[in-house]
Structure formats: structure tokens, C-alpha cells
Amino acid sequence: MTIEVLLLSITMAVAAGLVGSFAVMRRMGLAADPMSHVALPGIGLALALHINPLFGAVAMLLFGALVVWALEGKARLGTEALIGVLFSVALALGSMMTSGEELIDALFGGAGVLRWPEICFGLIASGAVIAFIVTQRNRLVVMLVSPDVARTAGIDVRRLDLLYLGAFALTIALGLRFLGVLLMGALIIIPAATAKRLARNLTEMLVLAVSIAVATTLVGTWLAAVFHRQTGPFIVIVAAACFLLSFLRLP
């Protein structure tokens, strides 16, 4: 593993831990998974058009974030069901458009060589996500406790929500190469869910989620290299092991 790939996987994990912390506190853990599926038709479309699949995935993910945001604005019952249906359709369409090895790589993360455009995008996007969460964490906290209270505190709730969902979508895109469409949701949710069980305040929550995400990414990547297998499943299994261990510490 080269130094830039190592750096990229660490920044991806940091972004995942931060974004995931707010995702589990907002109780959108279950939305993470279907939302990551929307990347697949983007990858398929990009491959068909002979452009970098990463950018197809990013475009579709940001579109997916916009759909979730618009549905939230409607505030009607059944949004969750609608998200489930829409994004399952995305998965179905995507798997029709891609085939064979490409599909397996897209679903579970491939080991292929990272090229400079991908590395540059990865570093810039993860830097942006990390900066967003770190600078906006106070506003995000107020919004998650009560959007109404946030509104009267002068926070543009709809805009902040859109930005958060955008950061969420970018974070999924960051992990596609390492974990794939099916498993990236897990790296966002599991370390944060583990941290939520152990943390006693916000700082502990964020620090723990980031540490667990980075540690599981590194250990998972190492195990995958040792066993010559795909990285995604190993990272998720290590993360899940941490989550199970957290039950040992607390009743």
C-alpha cells in the first residue's frame, strides 16, 4: 500500500466517523444503507459512457441526497418507505447496467490501482466533509435536539440539513473504492453506533467514532492484504466486532 492510499483511507475513515456520529444521533442509521445503493447506477452509467466511475457515483449520490432532502421537506408519513423503494430500484437498475467483475468491485470494493484524479478527489472531499462537521457541529447539535429551537436561534435549518446530507453523500463516495456500494454505509454507522454506546458527552462521541473508524479501516485493510481478499468485508467485520465488544463494557 502506497503512502497516498494510506492517507486517503485514514481521511475517509475520519470523515465517516464524524458524519456517522450525527447520522446515528439523528436516527438516520437505516437510511445510510439504501442511500449508498444509489451510487450503483451512477457507476454503471459512467462505465457505459467511458468516464471515471467515481464521478458517476458522486453525481448520483448527490442527487440521492437532494431527493432525501426534498422528501424531508414534505414531512409526510411514509418517507422512509419511499426512500427504501427508490433506492432499491437504484440498486436493481445499477446491477442491470454493470456486469461481472465490475459489479463485484462496485458492490464490495475493489483493490484496483488508484489514479491521481481519484486520490485528489478523495483528499479534497474528505477534507471538506471533516471541515464541515468540525465547524458546524454546534449548529448540528441544536438542529438534532430541536429544529424549531434551531430556527429561532438563527440557524437556517433547511440549508444546514441539505449541507449535511451532501456531506453524507460525499462520504459514501469516498469509501466506494475501499468498501463498495453495499458496505460503505456500515463504516459510517457501526463505529458511530459503537461510540454512542460508550460516550458520555459530545466530544467523547466524536473522538471515539473517529478512532474506531480509523482503527477498523486500518486493521481491516491489513487483514485483507494478508488473506488476499477484498477489503470491504474485512473492515465491516472488524467494525462489527468492536460494536459487539462495546456490549461487554456496558450493561
Partner 1 sequence: MDNILEVDRLSIRFEKVEVFADLSFQVAKGKSLAVIGPNGVGKTVLFRALIGAIPSEGTIRWTPHVRIGYVPQKLDLDRDVPITGRDFLRARSNSTGGADVEISLMLERVGISRKVSENCIGILSGGQFQRLLVAFALLGNPSVLLLDEPTAGVDGPGQHRLNELVRQLQEKQGLSVLFISHELSVVYEYATNVLCLGSRHAYFGPPRKILTPDLLSQIYGSPINYHVHDH
Report the interface residues with partner 1, using CB under 8 A. 25, 27, 137-139, 141-142, 144-149, 151-155, 195-197, 199-205
Nearer to partner 1, 115 or 197 (CB): 197
Burial of 240 (0-12, 13-18, 19+ CB in 10 A): middle
CA gap 211, 228 in Å, rounded: 25
CA distances from 187 to 7, 32, 143, 153 (A): 17, 10, 24, 33
Shortest distance in whole angstroms from residue 27 CB to partner 1: 7
Instruction: Give the CA-trace dihedral at 209, 211, 214, 217, to 10 degrees.
Output: -70
Nearer to partner 1, 84 or 147 (CB): 147
CA atoms within 13 A on the CB side of 69: 19
Nearer to partner 1, 22 or 87 (CB): 22
Shortest distance in whole angstroms from residue 198 CB to partner 1: 8
Shortest distance in whole angstroms from residue 204 CB to partner 1: 7
Nearer to partner 1, 100 or 251 (CB): 251
CA distances from 198 to 44, 115, 185, 202, 247 (A): 40, 38, 21, 11, 9
Nearer to partner 1, 197 or 229 (CB): 197
Shortest distance in whole angstroms from residue 225 CB to partner 1: 34
CA gap 195, 210 in Å, rounded: 9
Shortest distance in whole angstroms from residue 41 CB to partner 1: 34
Nearer to partner 1, 101 or 204 (CB): 204
Identify the CA nearest to 19 among candidates 129, 162, 182.
Answer: 129
CA-angle at 189, arms to 154 and 107, nearest 5°:
120
Shortest distance in whole angstroms from residue 99 CB to partner 1: 42
CA gap 17, 160 in Å, rounded: 19
